[in-house]
Amino acid sequence: MTTSELEPDKVRAIIEAILVTADAPVTPGRLVSLFDGLNGRDIRTAIDDLKEHYQTAGRAFTIIEIAGGYQLASQQEYGAWVRKFHTDKTQPRLSQAALETLSIVAFKQPITRVEVDSIRGVNSSGVLRNLMELGLIRISGRSDEIGKPMLFGTTRDFLILFGLKSLADLPKPKELEELLAAGEQKASAGGQLGLDLTGQETTDGIRERTENGAGETPAAKLQEKTEAAEEGKPAP
């Protein structure tokens, strides 16, 4: 039997098995390549049917769209139990400086180090290097400016971390202005802003999202989008 002769329920089962075993979001194109005679619309229908089945059956997980692909993830209501189970896990964190720098790169990319330094008011070389080591930013090319400085941009892992389908899901300039204005009103909020990879359990271990934050800054907006993704709702 060829894949084009498979019944819809078998196609759904195959896709489910792939998502269960995948350690990263699976793109629609990758799924299409597995089935002769099926197209992207067929794959989308199968994904939607699986999500509806999970919801009707009251399953603890669903399928989310993230970083241009599909991934199996736990429902938000079970987040507290997931965190409790994984309390012994070592969770990487981003300092306030790192999260601030990452936010600048995300919203201004492609951007040079000098431009990042100008916005932050301090040298960002070490922070950029650390973010590259974490796989959250990358060198995306070189500027036409004198000296051909390197340009930085975000990676697919950045989209995965913040639960974004694409960079188009980032807040628009008008939204940022409103958020920055609100952030100034909350300037009294102190403490270190950390990025904790907690919140949503996926098939390859903990894919939990942002928990800590202070003020409605661009970084905080990224956190809001992450929380919305965990709840299976459109990001604000």
User: Can you tell me the distance from the alpha carbon of 167 to that of 179, in angstroms, rounded to the nearest whole number?
Assistant: 18
User: Can you tell me the distance from the alpha carbon of 94 to that of 96, in angstroms, rounded to the nearest whole number?
Assistant: 7
Per-residue pLDDT tens over the stretch 112-171: 999 999 999 999 999 999 999 999 999 999 998 888 999 999 999 898 888 888 888 887
Least confident of 8-22, 81-95, 172-186, 203-217: 203-217
| Six token digits for residue 154 | 């975000």
Q: At what angle do helices 218-230 and 173-185 cross, to 10 degrees?
A: 110
Distance of CA 110 to the CA centre of its chain: 19
Beta strands in 18-170 (DSSP E): 61-66, 69-74, 93-94, 111-112, 137-142, 150-154
What is the model's pLDDT at position 171?
76
Q: Among 21, 63, 78, which residue's Cα sits nearest to residue 208?
A: 78
Question: Do 34 and 3 form a contact (C-beta atoms < 8 A)?
Answer: yes
pTM: 0.60
